[in-house]
Structure 1
Amino acid sequence: MILSPVCGFFVDRMCFLRILWLMKSSENQEQQKNKFLIPMKRRDFVKTLGACAAALAAPGCARRRTLEPSPPNIILIVTDDQRYDALGCAGNPIIHTPVMDDLVSRGIRFEKAFVTTPICTASRASIFTGLYERSHGYTFTKPPLSSALMDKSYPYLLRRAGYHTGLVGKFGIKVQDGVVNAMFDRFRSTAYPYFKEEDGEKRHLTDIHGDLALSFLRERPNDRPFCLSLSF
């Protein structure tokens, strides 16, 4: 697993995603948005996805002690599933991940990390809740996660804090009625089949999810920070 020095988890799938985290200030937020959210062709998504994360003030703003830093924009990208060594930068002689290797050169790669529960749905529940499986008690064949647990999930808390939240791709967990609407402003969960017909064209879910993610970024409110959970 690879972690950005700013915020978020990054993992790779069959398409090569170029994830670029930029630090932006409240003064240049709109400028950075317009710079990176330019119109793209569908296939261009596998080359570049820009995500702006605000955490630093612009040069010269340090003197304005009363200026509050703008909250960071967050994109959390997860793939399902991937071994720890399924990366070129990990020395894999067969699998080529040039974009992920580039991300490693710009960020941080943890070589001694581990997943607490090597099961898809239990791991997803842990990502959302921040709890070990023994605490949230959720895996395959278990009842839906309770609203009491999901009310402490990062999308729910961020939305309450004023974030525009969304999920694109595989949700991978079952929750009680009403929980999804409380967590996300926009929710497009799709996992199967891997190929779909759209407008007479057969497309892989990777490309479909990429287009939906770009739509979320383009159509988000300008006056709110955002958090997008993007799952391939």
Structure 2
Amino acid sequence: MSSSSRPNIVFILTDQQSASMMGCAGNGYLSTPAMDRLAAEGVRFDRAYCTNPVCMPSRFSLMTGRMSSEIDLRGNSASHIPAIPERIKRTALGWLLRDAGYDVAYGGKVHLPHLSPEDLGFEFITPDQRDGLAKTSADYIRRQRARKKP
């Protein structure tokens, strides 16, 4: 599939957000027009489950496609885990997308044991989790567009 016919992927992973915390999810107390538009024009998972209700194990599973119990990661502490095997790093989400021809970037909270976004195949654009993240992400997209990247 050529790069012009492949869909662009914007994956937003929030922290501490329940499923009902968007206007498009029926919340009458919140105004989330940008997220609502993304949900309307893209894919929104309204019946999704995570592998673990705790941040670090859940992120690990999402980024690697593996159960966190495979490396004995059961909570937000990984001091007992010496390292992540290369075989897990090399099959992570960023590498899979990169190998499929995508340019991949990661910004914001990482919170993964012994893993950086670069280990997972991503270009790391910012560790900022707050106000700077949106601007840095938008700047990245603008640079891609200027380079004629979708």
Q: TM-score, normalised by structure 1?
A: 0.50
The structure with the largest alpha-carbon Rg is 1
Q: Deviations over 1:86-110 (max 9, x none)?
A: 2223333423323333444444544
Listed as ranges, the gaps of 5+ residues in structure 1 are 1-24, 30-53, 56-70, 192-204, 226-232
Q: How many residues are matched? A: 145
SS in 2 for 1:167: strand
User: Counterparts of 1:218 and 1:170 in 2: how far apart (Å)?
Assistant: 22
Q: What residue is the counterpart of 2:27 in the other structure?
A: 92
Deviation at 1:141, TM superposition (A): 1.6
Whole-angstrom distance in 1 between the partners of 2:120 and 2:21: 35
Greater percentage in strand: 1
Preserved contact between residue 162 and residue 224 of structure 1 (Cα < 8 Å): no
Higher relative contact order (CA 8 A, sep 6+): 1
CA distance in 2, matches of 1:133, 1:114: 15
* 1:162–1:141 distance in 2 versus 1, CA, 3 Å: same
Change (3 A) 1:94 1:224: closer
Contact kept? 1:159, 1:183, Cα under 8 Å: yes
Aligned partner letter, 1:112 = R
Are 1:222 and 2:137 matched, yes or no?
no
Kindly provide the CA deviation profile for residues 116-155 of structure 1, in whole angstroms up to 9, marking residues without a partner as x: 2111111111111122333354342222533321211111
Q: State the distance in 1 between where 2:112 and 2:12 align.
A: 16
CA–CA distance in 2 between the matches of 1:158 and 1:105? 24
Distance verdict in 2 for CA 1:128–1:182, change over 3 Å: closer
The answer to whether the aligner puts 1:124 opposite 2:59 as a matched pair is: yes
Which aligned pairs between 1:56-75 and structure 2 lie closer than 5 A? 71-75=6-10
| % identity of equivalent residues | 28
Structure 2 counterpart of 1:170: 109
Name the aligned partner's letter for residue 141 of structure 1: S
Specify which of 122, 137, 142 is matched with residue 184 of structure 1. 122
| Residue 173 to residue 101, structure 1, CA distance change in 2 (3 Å) | same
CA 89–75 in structure 1, closer or farther in 2 if over 3 Å, else same: closer
CA deviation profile, 1:63-104 (whole Å, cap 9, x unmatched): xxxxxxxx4432211111201122223333423323333444
Matched, 1:146 2:85: yes
Q: Structure 2: any 5+ residue segments left out of the alignment? A: none
**1:219/1:110 CA distance change after superposition, 3 Å:** closer
Shift of 1:217: 1.8
Q: Name the one with the larger helix percent.
A: 2
